[in-house]
Structures are given as structure tokens and as C-alpha cells.
Amino acid sequence: MSGIGSRRGFVSLVGAGPGDPELLTRRAAARLAGADVVLYDALVDLAVLDLAPRAQRIFVGKRAGRPAVRQEFIHRLMIRAARRGCAVVRLKGGDPFVFGRGGEEALALTGAGVPFEIVPGISSAIAAPELAGIPVTHRGVSTGFVVVSGHAEAAYRGILENLAPQSCTVVVLMGIGGITDVAALLVARGWGLLTPAAVIFGAGTAAADVWTMTLGELQRGIESSDSTLPGTVVIGDVVRLRAAIAFDAADCEAAAR
């Protein structure tokens, strides 16, 4: 960190993608290589942090059983480090602007007059289904998709109750615990009980697991054997394509090496 005091600090709000460090953008890797400080979330794969060998690493995510670090505290850390002349990377899982509070952090930096950039990442909303062989849109099957947060009814009700049955693909993030209510709402809205659904746990990691089922089954709830793995739920006819798009992400990766 020598000479930091004389430099102008800068913050990069960086998306780390869904897990696999190979799914980082080149710009994300470059910013990590040059970082003095990395503030990272719980869903960031630790292998990604190895790309920042010089940096002081500060965990600011939620950890089971512990209260989350307050958002304002994260803002203060970023601003203070940048004002000290540090190259700061604020590293988030997936994309920083998709349920990542990246917008709030960008506003805080703007308000403080700290120069910053935004480095998009691959959101799990698309990558998790994709790595499971499920396209979120497909000609003749689904011409659009909506992404909702399933953590609270207020976050999705207004969106899902206005969707005509089977009109698009529904992707639910942060929804494993509340998936019964999400599924029940769609069924009440007229979506068929046999609508296919998939749950993708830990996409882009060695522990990745994909479960397929029907909306009726989803309505009865799901329980992962590993509650630490994040899960993304996909509902819609595109899930059927998984059987035809027969590929195994891990095999393909090995073959490409």
C-alpha cells in the first residue's frame, strides 16, 4: 500500500458473477489485481479473492447467526478508504445492480464526491438457469422473463399477480424459504399445477445441484440438504428444454481445458 496517500482514491463496484472465478469479466479481474482494499459479500467465492493478492480483504456480508453489517457502515468504509487514496473494490455476487444494493452504494459515492465505476457481473438470475441448461427465453416457448425477489410477499405480489398464466418465465431470487407462497400465488392466478419448475443451488460452484419439479410440487416447499447454498428458482415451460439441452457444465469445462 506504499504511496497510497499521494494517489487519488477510486472505487470499483464490481460484479463477481455466480461463483466460478472463470465467469468474472476481464475488467473485474484487472480491478482485483490492482486493489488495495476489497470489501466482499458472503456469496463471493473465496477463490475470486485470490485474484487480489495485494489487497486488504474485509468481509461485509451476512453470516449465519450474525447480524448483517449495516449498509451505511459499508458506505463509510468505501468512502474513507478512497479518501485515503486506496483503489477500492466493492465486490458483490452476480451483478451489483441486481438485488445487490449497488445502486445505493453508487448514490452514496456520488453524494460523497468519490470517483467510482461500475463493473457489471453475470447475474445468477440468468447464469443459474443457463448453467443448468435452461434458457430464460426461447423462441416459441417464452418471449420474456421476470426476475423477482421471493424474500417477502410485498416484493413480488404486485408483479406476479399481473402476469397472465404461462405468459413468460419467472425467476425467483432469495426465494427458497418463501417459495411455497410464490408458487401458491401463481397457482391462484391460474398457472397450471404441471407447469415445470427448477431450483438451482450453488450455480457455478463445485457443489451445484439442480432439482426439477412441477409448480404443484414447488407449492409444497423445498428443503435443501445444504442450507448455506444460495438457490435460484425458475418457473415456466422453458424448464422442459433442460432435458433436450443435455449438457453437463462440469464435464464441458473439463473437456474445454
Size of the site for ligand SAM (CB under 6 A): 24
**CA pair distance 30, 58, nearest whole angstrom:** 19
* 39, 90, 232, 235: residue in contact with ligand SAM (rule CB under 6 A): 232
**Residues belonging to the active site:** 41, 62, 174
* 169, 230, 238, 242: residue in contact with ligand SAM (rule CB under 6 A): 230
Nearer to ligand SAM, 118 or 128 (CB): 128
**x-or-dash pattern for ligand SAM, window 201-220, by CB under 6 A?**
-xxxx---------------
- Interaction between residue 120 and ligand SAM (CB under 6 A): no
- Interaction between residue 21 and ligand SAM (CB under 6 A): no
Question: Which three-class secondary structure string do you get for the chain?
Answer: CCCHHHCCCEEEEEECECCCHHHCCHHHHHHHHCCCEEEECCCCCHHHHCCCCCCEEEECCCCCCCCCCCHHHHHHHHHHHHHCCCEEEEEECECCCCCCCHHHHHHHHHHHCCCEEEECCCCHHHHHHHHCCCCCCECCCECCEEEEECCCHHHHHHHHCCCCCCCCEEEEECCCCCHHHHHHHHHHCCCCCCCEEEEEECCCCCCCEEEEEEHHHHCCCCCCCCCCCCEEEEECHHHHHHHHCCCCHHHHHHHHC
**x-or-dash pattern for ligand SAM, window 161-200, by CB under 6 A?**
------------xx-------------------------x
- Interaction between residue 19 and ligand SAM (CB under 6 A): yes
Query: What residues between 31 and 50 interact with ligand SAM by CB under 6 A?
Result: 43
**x-or-dash pattern for ligand SAM, window 56-95, by CB under 6 A?**
------------------------------------xxxx
Q: Provide, rounded to whole angstroms, the least separation between the CB of residue 112 and ligand SAM.
A: 23
Nearer to ligand SAM, 75 or 92 (CB): 92
**For binding to ligand SAM (CB under 6 A), which residues are involved?**
18-19, 43, 92-95, 98-100, 123-125, 128, 173-174, 200, 202-205, 230-232
